[in-house]
A and B are shown apart, each in its own frame.
Chain A
């Protein structure tokens, strides 16, 4: 058992608790209050008034799929030879021994949804994992699969235009998306009709088979979309085909606030940091997350690591505040909102009884540039101590 005492606890689900205590047992939070009696069985961590938050969460990264400091041999995120690869799984490409994991947990990022890139219309499944020290990815899983990556706009166009293959237009992206889902629905209904009779079953199709959880709405589409028109296309297809969806990047989200509200959209915004290196990033600004949040839209902030470093997640939330986002809302965008949007808030995202004990103690405010992590705790284990 670990007892954290004298913390300024940002639970993310209510008021800040001053001089609060958190009791951790068997990897879980068992009590959060102002008064927890110390016993001999407890390892005591005196936060001495420091800020305590849930472990930070990035709702959209490529952690482990593009390894640090190597090229082709460690690049496993885009199967860019076929635009329809829903049967790819992030889990098969993640190297937990990549240094990015260590950098992330040392900076207080304890969970992320990670998976394929945006070269393909359907890229494969995302997985939600912890960043704890581990040799084997299976030890880190929170939920797998957690979403089906799909991509709209310039990236699939660029990738396949170079190869002289479809899709080379936005029309083709949508057409191939629609065609694939409709085929998957047909496949699913044939499978159901066969009702276990192998002779009547359609021939196993790995692509269509992997889309069944999407059709069943067990996992959402994770739609890479920067421009407003691409966001609308993604929403149109999701509605037409009756699928759940999150809008990832949402770079022009601030231009279509009313529609996003009406659609009850879930937006994972970013990376807002960096050069506008392609046309679809023309309207990139740190104002986007604040504007969407003030309109009442559920927002998470992402690094899109390795696009910006995963360990810079609190810095990016801080820059959103600098551009007008409420400080507490920005913190929610990298904790509880991120967890809710990717569907893992039963496990992580807030400091609450019976959630995983993923907790960060900071030596200053997490958004301040000169703040360091004092301690990172993941699943009740101290993973980093400064």
Chain B
């Protein structure tokens, strides 16, 4: 057992304890409380005085490409877009992640301890995302949940990639059409498999793409829909409804233009990256107004860096800039902790400082939105993995 005391603890879900303590037992949080109701002397185990530092749960990015698009290397380390075929649901993030990439270390030292990472948006269906820890040597030991979602993409990216090859899809019509076609084929494949039962002679011949889509059709994982523009968001929702799929909306750059509809649809929104140049037409409306407007409307959003589009270690800064734009400060913190945990369906173990949750903690000298705040210590699964 380890005790961390004299700390300002932001539990995220149960308010801020101005002078509090956390007890860690193995990899879990064992107890959280106020120093006033606690006696240090009777505690048996390691004791760490945090001298008034901030303690927060490890930050979570619900949408990035960590490990798939490596730092400071080009083609050789670029493994996130299989741009030779617009339909690649059978790709799996974990087969492309390099935990030696320096981005892991940078993220970890900034307190980003858990991410959903996976394929890019070149393909209509890109492959599966996985939730991983940012600490570890071998990807197999870093997995929190795999697969967690099936990446798919709408709008300009698939259009641009495949029209340049004179292949389908080169229009928004075709993106939707090939998506529908693929889902219909997979649905029939699943029906045939189920009808065949143990009769091998009736079994359809193995199809890797269809197999990969079965968890999507069974609603075990959502489609993770890259959509910037309002019309693309609606197309994603249209198809999800037609095929009765779970869905998360990722990027949601024009979300502030369609707030009423998003409230009605009640689907998770992962917003960002809101930082940077509007480098293509579908980003015309990009600004930090989006996370603020959606949050003000009562939508529990997650904020993303879309790393490497913006650096993963800047996740707290992205939330801070949303706060600067007028987003409620606590909501902005929730957008990089409990909200992504809920959207990724791991909030039973992640996203807040609560008894029995995984002991992933960040200790800072001041609030993480302060530009000169510094991470003092990062704890993952109960172990200190970084100390300033």
Query: Which residue of chain B lies nearest to A88 when distances are taken between CB atoms in the complex?
Result: B173
In the complex the two chains form, is A73's CB within 8 Å of B156's CB? yes
Interface residues of B (CB under 8 A from A): 156, 159-160, 162-163, 166-178, 180-181, 184-185, 187-188, 191-192, 195-196, 202, 229-231, 234-235, 238, 257-258, 261, 280-282
In the complex the two chains form, is A73's CB within 8 Å of B280's CB? yes
Beyond A81-B167, A163-B166, whether A92 also contacts B235 by CB under 8 A is yes
Query: Which residue of chain A lies nearest to B174 when distances are taken between CB atoms in the complex?
Result: A79
Main secondary structure of the interface of B (DSSP, over half): helix
Beyond A73-B156, A136-B258, A198-B195, whether A116 also contacts B173 by CB under 8 A is yes
In the complex the two chains form, is B230's CB within 8 Å of A75's CB? no
In the complex the two chains form, is B185's CB within 8 Å of A204's CB? yes
Beyond A92-B235, A135-B257, whether A77 also contacts B171 by CB under 8 A is yes
B177: contacting residue among A65, A88, A135, A203, CB under 8 A: A88
Query: Which residue of chain B lies nearest to A86 when distances are taken between CB atoms in the complex?
Result: B177
Contacts of A124 in B (CB 8 A): 173, 177
Beyond A70-B281, A95-B229, A136-B261, whether A79 also contacts B171 by CB under 8 A is yes
Contacts of B159 in A (CB 8 A): 72-73, 76
- Contact indicator per residue, chain A 328-346, by CB within 8 Å of chain B (1) or not (0): 0000000000000000000
In the complex the two chains form, is B185's CB within 8 Å of A203's CB? yes
Give Cα A78–Cα B173 distance, bound, in whole angstroms.
9
Beyond A85-B177, A87-B180, A92-B176, whether A73 also contacts B238 by CB under 8 A is no
Give Cα A188–Cα B249 distance, bound, in whole angstroms.
36
A88: contacting residue among B167, B174, B202, B258, CB under 8 A: B174
**Would you give the shortest CB distance from A114 to chain B, in whole angstroms?**
12
Query: Which residue of chain B lies nearest to A87 when distances are taken between CB atoms in the complex?
Result: B177
Beyond A136-B258, A204-B188, whether A91 also contacts B282 by CB under 8 A is no
Q: Which residues of A (60-97) have their CB < 8 Å from a CB of B?
A: 65, 70, 72-82, 85, 87-97
In the complex the two chains form, is B175's CB within 8 Å of A203's CB? no
**Would you give the shortest CB distance from A204 to chain B, in whole angstroms?**
5
- Contact indicator per residue, chain A 108-126, by CB within 8 Å of chain B (1) or not (0): 0000000010000000100
Contacts of B258 in A (CB 8 A): 135-136
Give Cα A96–Cα B254 distance, bound, in whole angstroms.
14
Q: Which residues of A (92-110) have their CB < 8 Å from a CB of B?
A: 92-97
In the complex the two chains form, is B156's CB within 8 Å of A81's CB? no
A93: contacting residue among B160, B173, B185, B196, CB under 8 A: B173
Beyond A97-B231, A209-B184, whether A79 also contacts B173 by CB under 8 A is yes
**Would you give the shortest CB distance from B192 to chain A, in whole angstroms?**
5
Beyond A87-B180, A206-B184, whether A81 also contacts B234 by CB under 8 A is no
Give Cα A74–Cα B281 distance, bound, in whole angstroms.
9
Give Cα A201–Cα B196 distance, bound, in whole angstroms.
13
Contacts of B181 in A (CB 8 A): 87, 204, 206
Interface CB pairs A-B, < 8 A, 14: A78-B171, A79-B168, A79-B173, A79-B174, A85-B177, A89-B176, A92-B235, A93-B172, A135-B257, A198-B191, A198-B195, A199-B192, A199-B202, A203-B185
Give Cα A136–Cα B230 distance, bound, in whole angstroms.
8
| A223 interface residue (CB < 8 Å to B) | no
In the complex the two chains form, is B163's CB within 8 Å of A81's CB? yes
**Would you give the shortest CB distance from A94 to chain B, in whole angstroms?**
7
In the complex the two chains form, is B173's CB within 8 Å of A82's CB? no
Beyond A89-B176, A199-B202, whether A204 also contacts B184 by CB under 8 A is yes
**Would you give the shortest CB distance from B217 to chain A, in whole angstroms?**
13
Contacts of B202 in A (CB 8 A): 199
Query: Which residue of chain B lies nearest to A201 when distances are taken between CB atoms in the complex?
Result: B188
| A138 interface residue (CB < 8 Å to B) | yes
Q: With A96-B231, A206-B185 given, can you name 5 additional A-B contacts, CB distance below 8 Å?
A: A72-B159, A81-B163, A88-B177, A93-B171, A97-B231
**Would you give the shortest CB distance from B187 to chain A, in whole angstroms?**
8
In the complex the two chains form, is A198's CB within 8 Å of B192's CB? yes
Give Cα A330–Cα B192 distance, bound, in whole angstroms.
55
Beyond A87-B180, A204-B188, whether A135 also contacts B171 by CB under 8 A is no
